[in-house]
Amino acid sequence: MRTTAHLLLPVLLLLTSTPATAAEADVVYVTDELRLGLYRTEETSGRTVKTLISGARLTVLERALMSIRVRTEDGDEGWVKTAYIVETEPARSRLGRLEAAVETAGARLEEAEQALEASRSEANELASQLAVAEQNITNLPALEAENAALRETLASSGIRMPLGWFIVAALVCLMAGGFTGYWLLDRRVRSRFGGIRPY
């Protein structure tokens, strides 16, 4: 029993002295950014002409056993190690292009949604105008019948004026005639007496 306790004691001390469990450990990732030297010589040693990063586009000028001579998009020429060169575009640079494409597509989608909303408003306005036009078309036979009835009434009875209108028109003509007669008489009297009224 004593031997078992002696064996378990160091194991227990080791477990309790561990600073953090696996669940509490910090998480880290390996970087996907590669920096590759562009050299003047085929041996890819010595001083670098330029440092290239992941996704840099290169034009192959010459191939050797362990390296290739390339030209960058900026026009720099030199040698790089073949082990770090691939013929397919790396995921990182493709991701950048895809993100830019997604952003452009999002802007276009927003413009399309605004245009759709404007089209919906215009369609609603046209629908209301169409409803008014259909209502007018529905009322057209009734209006035509009413118009025909009024024409028949007018044709059968001739032009009729209400009695009140006739009396008002007669009074206006009488008053206008009276004022005109007075004005003519006054003018004739003034001309006879040199512009002076004798009364």
> pLDDT tens for residues 15-59?
555 554 444 677 656 556 778 888 888 888 888 888 888 888 899
Q: What is the pTM of this model?
A: 0.39
**Domain assignment of residue 71, yes or no:** yes
Number of domains into which the chain is organized: 1
**Domain assignment of residue 46, yes or no:** yes
Cα–Cα distance, 57 to 75 (Å, whole number): 11
Tokens standing for residue 48: 């670098």
Cα–Cα distance, 66 to 38 (Å, whole number): 14
**Domain assignment of residue 187, yes or no:** no
**Domain assignment of residue 82, yes or no:** yes
Select the more confidently predicted residue: 198 or 172.
Answer: 172
- Round the average pLDDT of the chain to a whole number and report it: 80
Q: Which domain holds residue 39?
A: 35-87
**One-letter amino acid for residue 69 of the chain:** R
Asked if residue 1 has pLDDT above 50, the reply is no
The CATH code of the domain that includes 39 is 2.30.30.40
**Domain assignment of residue 45, yes or no:** yes
Chain segment 51-81, per-residue pLDDT in tens:
888 888 899 999 988 888 999 988 999 998 8
